[in-house]
Amino acid sequence: MARPAAPRRLPLLPAESRVGWTAYVWLIYLLMFLAPPAARMWAGRAGIGDWAVTLLGLAIFLFTYFRAYWVRGRGLVAIVAAQVALGVIYTPINPGALVFFIYAACFVARLEQRRGAVLGIALVTLALASMAWIAAVPWVWWAGGVIMAPLLGAVNYHDARVARADRKLRLAQEQVEHLATVAERERIARDLHDLLGHTLSLIVLKAELAGRLAERDAARAAGEVRDIEQVARQALREVRDAIRGYRASVQDEAERARALLAAAGVEAELDIERVALDAASGETLALALREAVTNVIRHAHAGRCRVRLRQQDGACVLEVEDDGRGRCAPEGGGLRGMRERVEALGGAVERGPGGNGRGTLLRVTVPHAGPLAHAEGGRP
């Protein structure tokens, strides 16, 4: 049986691992450790050996103190154990060493698990009281320590929880920003595919037609060239709109589909009911219509294409049917992008044979976002 994976620790943020100015302020409590040897020196009872032992303990503590800002988990437990050991070793000869227990209580409060932090504070406080009793430390020294150790430990525990919550929030925000960036890139990729695929197909068709007409009907060829210029300018505007956040209209896209099908020599039959749609649904249906018509021109080799938009069972249904030969073709990137957009709105994309057994029928269904508006002539 596989062992369950250990919970992933949150990485330290730079602000958490950096030793700020407050870390140096808290060192003021070390005056308690330096006071007894200073008093003995003032009384003429402290020598070089006394100060050497004191400074050695101070150096060891300072190493553990600053190291504690850079470690977590077991490393932090080891730091706390070292500080408690210093307190145990030095308290019999220096009652000010009880301050080491207070620092240990503050650092053990930074453990991520609540149970470990609370238990650690209690054990360090108990060790402080026990050592003070064993070494017969005057109550003036240990009474404050017994109060300060759990009090400062609780304060540091609260601060550590707030810091971890802030760290989780920052990591979550970074993740959301990353996902939003990825989604925006995918949106732009899908929209550019749909926009440029449709427009470039129209430009190619008109360019081929202008080439064929150049020798026998120069006036009409010039007209096709002017159309190419207009389509190219429109494509440039649409690309800019896609980058900013494209918003397409089903009715506008239907007119473009009619022009594209006519240029390709495909008979177009459009039946577009005017329905109320929100921006996302309208844009999705418009781009779906663009992709479907583009595929008819490129791959179906159809002679007729029928486009229908209607309300059905509380949803908007777009159908694009042709009499060509592309019904068995595998889905490409455009259809996959269409399916992703539609399914993101809770809709569905279906593809199958046409009603007469020939060609392809593409049906796109999206949730209806508003009341059915009046039909304007049935056909745009």
- More confident position, 87 or 183: 87
In this predicted structure, which of 218-222, 293-297, 319-323, 335-339 has the lowest mean pLDDT? 218-222
Separation CA 13–CA 279 (nearest Å): 40
Q: What is the mean pLDDT of residues 185-209?
A: 72
| Beta pairing partners, 271 | 308
Tens digits of per-residue pLDDT, 132-142? 898 888 887 77
Q: Where are the beta strands (DSSP E) in the chain?
A: 267-272, 304-312, 315-322, 348-353, 360-367
Q: Which CATH class is domain 248-380?
A: alpha beta
> Average per-residue pLDDT in the chain?
79
Q: Is the pLDDT of residue 90 over 50?
A: yes
Q: What is the mean pLDDT of residues 184-189?
A: 71
Q: Are 34 and 94 in contact (CB under 8 A)?
A: no
CATH 3.30.565.10 residue ranges in the chain? 248-380
Q: Is the pLDDT of residue 17 over 60?
A: no
- More confident position, 13 or 54: 54
Separation CA 94–CA 33 (nearest Å): 7
Q: Can you read off the two tokens belonging to residue 171?
A: 């990591």
Q: What is the mean pLDDT of residues 114-141?
A: 87
Nearest Cα neighbor of 54 from 19, 22, 100 is 100
Which pLDDT score is estimated for 6? 44
Predicted TM-score (pTM) of this structure: 0.47
Number of H helices, E strands in the chain: 12, 5
Tens digits of per-residue pLDDT, 232-266? 777 777 766 666 555 567 887 888 888 878 877 88
Neighbours of 274 (CB within 10 A): 16
Q: Is 230 exposed, middle or buried (0-12, 13-18, 19+ CB in 10 A)?
A: exposed
* SS3 state of residue 267: strand
Where do the H-state alpha helices sit in 68-138? 74-90, 99-108, 114-134
* SS3 state of residue 367: strand
Which of 12-21, 58-67, 287-296, 348-357 reaches the highest mean pLDDT?
58-67
Q: Is the pLDDT of residue 310 over 50?
A: yes
Sheet holding 348-353, edge to edge: 267-272, 304-312, 315-322, 360-367, 348-353
| Beta pairing partners, 270 | 307
Which pLDDT score is estimated for 378? 38
Tens digits of per-residue pLDDT, 353-375? 877 667 889 999 998 655 443 33
- More confident position, 327 or 225: 225
Band the pLDDT of 191: cuts 50, 70, 90.
low
- Please state, for a pLDDT cut of 70, what percent of the chain lies above it: 81
- More confident position, 120 or 278: 120
Which pLDDT score is estimated for 144? 79
Band the pLDDT of 306: cuts 50, 70, 90.
very high
Separation CA 359–CA 189 (nearest Å): 29
Q: Is the pLDDT of residue 223 over 50?
A: yes
Nearest Cα neighbor of 153 from 122, 192, 174 is 122
* SS3 state of residue 246: coil
